[in-house]
Amino acid sequence: MTAPVLMYSTAVCPYCMRAEQLLKARGVEDIEKVRIDLDPQQRDQMMKRTGRRTVPQIYIGDTHVGGFDDLNALDQAGKLLPLLQGA
């Protein structure tokens, strides 16, 4: 079982797609996606919550991971799986 994953994204974001592929490769079956291109209020909420304006913005449990580069760096450092497993 993995920690809940929330990802702010848009329909045509290549980094969002790469983040989703990486998460699925690490065993994540369900990603709650918040499409900020469909709802401007969600974009505002994302910016207030993360302090960032680019997508993706990824949360694993209560931890704000950041974007794809941050997620990938976490994986390369061997810290993504423990975070997903709630360690």
- CATH number of the structural domain spanning residue 33: 3.40.30.10
- Burial level of 4, CB count in 10 A (0-12/13-18/19+)? middle
pLDDT in tens, the chain (87 residues): 679 999 999 999 999 999 999 999 999 999 999 999 999 999 999 999 999 999 999 999 999 999 999 999 999 999 999 999 985
Range of the domain at 18: 5-84
- What is the pTM (predicted TM-score) of this model? 0.94
Sign of CA dihedral 68, 72, 75, 79: negative
